[in-house]
Chain A
Amino acid sequence: MSGFEFVLGLGDDALVAAQRLAQWCARAPELEEDVALANIALDQLGAARLLLGYAGELEGEGRDEDALAYLRTDREYRNVLLVELPDRDFAVLMAKLLFLSAWQRLRYEDLAAGDDERLAGIAAKAVKESAYHLDHSALWTVRLGDGTDESHARMQRAVDEVWPYTHELLAEAPHLRANWLSTVDGVLAEATLRRPDDGWRPGGGRDGRHTEALSYLLAEMQVLHRAYPGARW
């Protein structure tokens, strides 16, 4: 994987996650959560902009963050499938955020100590944000898992649904797997939730083979930008 493709993948993860989070705006379960979700979306979007901007420089063909975000098809997106999954309910949103932020924290921590100075700078900022996202999603996972019968059932179903998609995350950085598992296991245990068995391992996002959901997500995100080619905003 070239440096460009690698950074692009990280940027796409953050951008698609931000887009899904933004879809919750004005419909969170409580007002405090509207503020928190917008905050997390802003963090993911901020990281995405820095990463895509850097990816464009690595590529060296004059594509900036917007060219990369708005003028690629779903087949050219390099995000993992987990981030594009639709949020059927608040439990799915939190399961996705828990798995993603636990992974992003470790990933960014690693990169912050890496040789690529530019990437290290971006990662050093993002790692602090990921720690907050992890705290927030862990808090909700525990509350929902150990809340009412209904919330327990919903949270367990969400974890079961999203779990297979975590394999794609871990596959590209196997050395972080044990650490990730111990974080996630701790949260699931406190939430009185069962860690699903490993079985199905969907993937392909890094190669541009996505779920059916991504094309719709991008259609919405890109519609205005594509309707006015070359315009400034």
Chain B
Amino acid sequence: MYGNDFAASGGELLDQVADAERELRAAADRSVRGGSDEETYFTELVAADQKIEPRDWMPDGYRKTLIRQIAQHAHSEIIGMQPEANWLTRAPTLKRKAILLAKVQDEAGHGLYLYAAAETLGVSRDTLYDLLLAGRQKYSSIFNYPTLSWADVGAIGWLVDGAAIVNQVPLCRCSYGPYARAMIRICKEESFHQRQGYEILYTLAHGTPGQKEMAQDAVDRWWYPSLAMFGPPDTDSTHSAQSMAWKIKRFSNDDLRQRFVDMCAQQATVLGLTIPDPDLRWNPDRGAYDYTAPDYAELMEVIRGNGPCNRARMANRRAAHEDGAWVREAAAAYAAKHAAPAAPTAEAVHA
């Protein structure tokens, strides 16, 4: 049964989430006695695998790195709603529609947790929105590819949520407490996301010839962009070393990418679909699959704004924000009118 096979890898990852949760509690119980100065204290906390909390002193670079990373992650959750929402109204059965709706709703919730985590670092959600809309903060490039068929919803669940899990499980052990806690909540939901995508593809791959073709076409289009989700190769990665030292990041881009390839290669066989890489094969010496790297030049082009959907995704987000402005203004005006009455001001008394 595909269900058991799937659980094998998904379950292992969930175990890691549970481990991270236990560690988090253990860290709260231990205490590092403060050193001579703030910086030493920070370094000791990180070295002892304890969590940095919002009230703690932290280096500027640490704060900036976290804001950039958490904001990008939050933006990815909300921009990522678009390619899937694209199929909500056309889902082929009511059950699939309900599952997809629940999934997209989860992504909005993930956005909320993550913006809240970013706010603990002293930056407001509105500021982060403005930076996104101004193009000064990024979101994951994967969402700049179009969802052309129903099978793309399956491919996103299997590959994109799958890659997200591989990326995010180590973040459950991030040194910054609010981010680690948000990631634990999120990872628990992501495994359901990957499963629903896998099930969509499994059903299509075992359906009519037309459905199977639809599934294969989706995997063909989403495979390399999903590999690119892990970022540039280690040789070109600019932020990695410092992030590792701060225990924000635990594994290199290429290590995580390898883990993802190994997971997918096995699952694809069970699905009955082909990963579009003629050089994908088990390498017993390395104990891992050899694979073809994604086209990083394409990744850079998409990051620069020239993917198929960059403009459409941003235009939709901007339109939602602008169309909703009068609603948010009304809510603020109403709240102000009905706030507990303040003591009368001098003018009011004279009036």
Binding site for B on A (CB under 8 A): 15, 18-19, 22-23, 25-35, 38-39, 41-42, 45-46, 48-49, 52, 65-66, 69-70, 89-90, 142-144, 146-148, 150-151, 154, 220-221, 223-225, 228, 231-233
Contact = CB atoms under 8 A, between A and B. Distances in A.
A71 B96 CA distance: 16
Interface residues of B, number: 48
17 contacts: A25-B85, A26-B78, A26-B85, A28-B324, A35-B108, A42-B101, A49-B95, A89-B323, A90-B324, A144-B327, A147-B334, A148-B329, A151-B330, A220-B90, A225-B93, A232-B207, A233-B200
Nearest to B109: A35
Contacts of B208: 228, 231
A12 B87 CA distance: 20
B115 interface: yes
Contacts of B323: 27, 29, 89-90
B105 A38 contact: yes
A27 B90 contact: no
Contacts of A42: 98, 101-102, 105
Contact of A27 (B91, B95, B102, B320): B320
A69 to B, nearest CB: 6
Q: Does more than half of chain A's interface fall in helix, strand or loop, or is it mixed? A: helix
B168 interface: no
B36 interface: no
B117 to A, nearest CB: 14
A46 B99 CA distance: 11
Contacts of B93: 66, 70, 225, 233
What are the 5 A-B residue pairs with the smallest beta carbon separation, nearest first? Answer: A29-B324, A147-B330, A151-B330, A38-B105, A29-B327
Interface of B: 78, 81-82, 85, 88-98, 101-102, 104-105, 108-109, 111-112, 115, 125, 150, 200, 203-204, 207-208, 210-211, 316, 319-320, 323-331, 333-334, 337
Given A45-B97, A143-B331, A231-B92, 9 more contacts: A27-B319, A31-B125, A89-B323, A147-B331, A147-B334, A148-B330, A151-B330, A151-B333, A228-B210
A156 to B, nearest CB: 13
A48 B109 CA distance: 25
A19 B109 CA distance: 21
B207 A147 contact: no
Contact of B104 (A26, A46, A49): A26
A19 B98 CA distance: 11
A34 B109 CA distance: 9
Nearest to A68: B94
